[in-house]
Amino acid sequence: MKKLSIALWILTMGGPLATAENFGDRRNQESPHTKTHFKLRKFASLAQWEAHKAAIKQQILASAGLLPLPPKTPLGVKRTGRIDAGSYFWEKVVFEPLPGFFVAGNLYLPKQIRGRAPAMLVAHGHWKNGRIHDAPDYSVPALAANLAAQGYVAFAYDMIGYNDTRQLKHDFGDSVSEQLWSFGSLGLHLWNSMRAVDVLASLPEVDARRIGITGASGGGTQTFLLAAVDSRIQVAIPVNMVSATFQGDDACEMSPALRIGTNNIEIAAMMAPRHMLLLSATGDWTKLSPTEEFPAIRSIYELYGQAGRVWHRHIDAGHNYNQQSREAVYAYLARIWRGPYRRSAAPKERAVLPSKLETLLVGAIKPEGGLAGHTEIFAQWQRIANEQAAARPAAEQRRVFEQILGVSWPKQIRTSPSGEYLLLEGRGDGDRVPTRGTPGDTVVVDPDGERKTPPPAAGALRVEVFQTGAATAERDFVRGDYLTFRRSDDAERVQDILTALSFAHSSRPRELRLVCGKRASLWCLAAAAIAPVPVTFTPAEPLGDLSDAELAKRLFIPGLQRAGGLTALNKILRSK
């Protein structure tokens, strides 16, 4: 597990929290993490699942920094160095998923193609040699070459930081600035995968209606993430990664808010009702697949009446994509793309690999107009985000913030007394927001007591937001994967203000008023902008643009700058 990042230090203010009553707030009591044993929840109907699936898709895209998607600029696909390998051809490929940023890979092509062939993306895992790794337990070249020899187009492409694709290191994205802009390994790799689908769909050899993806370990994570957000994927084969007990711990498998209220089983199940083969092994974290993960995913396919479209193979081996696993893939693809066949005719590995696998590499990528490295690529990402935010209408901008912050306007508030406090629960997930006073036209958020609370007779509700004042409570140690499974503290505070505003709105005031101390100013700005009803908010200080470092101290919410930052929040508030 990665060390505690600077971003998480800011989240916890760098030290232990004071002990106070937590009012039974579940946010202080539950600490899901990558090794939590998850269960797939039960869904009463297909409609219920479809609504949940749509919400998870938006959550994945927001977490990845792909909400909205960046513009699809020209790919500039370059195919070079075709080699006749006997039963197939292979080529070197470079494409440009973002202007100035390049990804390399290899195309493996059948010798004879009648019409257009089905195609498979091959996403490699974290084995040392990436897309050219060839060993008894794992081989990308063996998989791709044999797929091509059997009549499929295979495209094996680099993870960021591997082989030829080294403009960025693999594990970037952990600084507060990168997190505020949602610039990280998982998101950019997912974007690269979406653009790799574009590459395949553009090839004259490929049937764009029959594109699939497979990968093991980290490549398995990429397989089900891509299948979850890109409907063009018609076949998904995640290998040794869909687990109830391990959700991944690499930079390309984790990003803030990715698995809030969900897990890899549900994300993989989003493939339904399209074709999927789930491959697991006795010697790794997928060892429970026959009794847990596969039956759970099949239950989602059953909601569609398509249980026959999900298959499972359990291999007696360690963490792998070995020959036995690969031949299970060949058999499955032959079944769904080549029609019925006798079991004895299942394809076996026969393709001969290049004697020197290094010949598959492109070498140094220095195309004209390329960006030098992290600083320039990050600046490009920020420029694209700012242009998109500036062009969005205020109403659409509000919806983007709502999704990226992971907050919502509660439609119904449950209340319960606790001593001098009235607890509000708005989202139905165990949040408890302590308040004092009476609901009216004013909500006060002042964790440091800088402003006096108007008397209850004035119709004022004072709210103690998450981990401030009376709502401060002890909680479990904040692990390095905390933000993958939880919202940031500041996002929770914005939600608590929205919950209090919704409760105050139930008393039918013509307009709501937010009164906030200096420390709460940015929390209140975000809540006032996102609220779907008019809210008057006069900050205690001017709220202009701040540097990433200063913003992280006062309103640390991953993706905030990607969504438009304070400029966009002020724009929304002025439009009301």
436-462 burial: b if 16+ Cβ within 10 Å, else e: bbbbbbbbbbbbeeeeebbeeeebbbb
Amino acid at 503: F
* Maximum pairwise Cα distance, the chain: 87
Q: What is the pLDDT of residues 264-275, one digit of tens each?
A: 999 999 999 999
The mean pLDDT of 555-572, rounded to a whole number, is: 97
Phi and psi, residue 510, nearest 5°? -70, -35
The encoded tokens of residue 377 equal: 């690529």
pLDDT band at 2 (very low <50, low <70, confident <90, very high): very low
Q: What is the pLDDT of residue 539?
A: 84
Q: What is the pLDDT of residues 433-451, one digit of tens each?
A: 999 998 889 999 999 876 6
381-416 burial: b if 16+ Cβ within 10 Å, else e: bbebbbebbeebeeeebbebbbbbbbbbbbeebeee
The DSSP string of 344-379 is GG-----PPPPS-GGGG-------TT---SHHHHHH
- Quote the CA–CA distance of 573 and 285 in Å, as a whole number: 48
CA–CA distance from 318 to each of 217, 243, 284, 286 (Å)? 12, 14, 6, 10
The mean pLDDT of 324-351, rounded to a whole number, is: 83
Q: What is the pLDDT of residues 304-318, one digit of tens each?
A: 999 999 999 999 999
pLDDT band at 480 (very low <50, low <70, confident <90, very high): confident
**Residue 243: pLDDT over 50:** yes
Least Cα distance to 292 among 354, 249, 242, 364 occurs for 242
Would you give the DSSP letter of residue 321? B
The encoded tokens of residue 135 equal: 């060993």
Identify the residue with better confidence: 363 or 293: 293
Please list the alpha-helical segments (H only) found in 203-280: 218-229, 264-269
Q: What is the pLDDT of residues 409-442, one digit of tens each?
A: 999 999 999 999 999 999 877 899 999 998 889 9
Task: Assign 110 to helix, strand or coil.
Answer: strand
- Quote the CA–CA distance of 516 and 523 in Å, as a whole number: 9
The mean pLDDT of 152-177, rounded to a whole number, is: 97
Q: What is the pLDDT of residue 16?
A: 38
Q: What is the pLDDT of residues 197-231, one digit of tens each?
A: 999 999 999 999 999 999 999 999 999 999 999 99
Q: What is the pLDDT of residue 3?
A: 44
Domains of the chain: 6-31+394-575 (no CATH), 46-357 (3.40.50.1820)
The encoded tokens of residue 165 equal: 């694709």
- Quote the CA–CA distance of 49 and 144 in Å, as a whole number: 35
Q: What is the pLDDT of residue 458?
A: 64
47 φψ region: left (φ > 0), alpha (ψ -120 to 50), beta (else):
alpha
pTM of the model: 0.94
The mean pLDDT of 154-175, rounded to a whole number, is: 96
Query: CA angle at residue 203 from 197 to 128, to 5 degrees?
Result: 50
Task: Assign 563 to helix, strand or coil.
Answer: helix
Burial, 141: exposed, middle or buried (Cβ in 10 Å; 0-12, 13-18, 19+)? Answer: buried
- Quote the CA–CA distance of 163 and 244 in Å, as a whole number: 31
Q: What is the pLDDT of residue 342?
A: 44
The per-residue pLDDT of the chain, averaged, comes to 92
**Residue 18: pLDDT over 50:** no
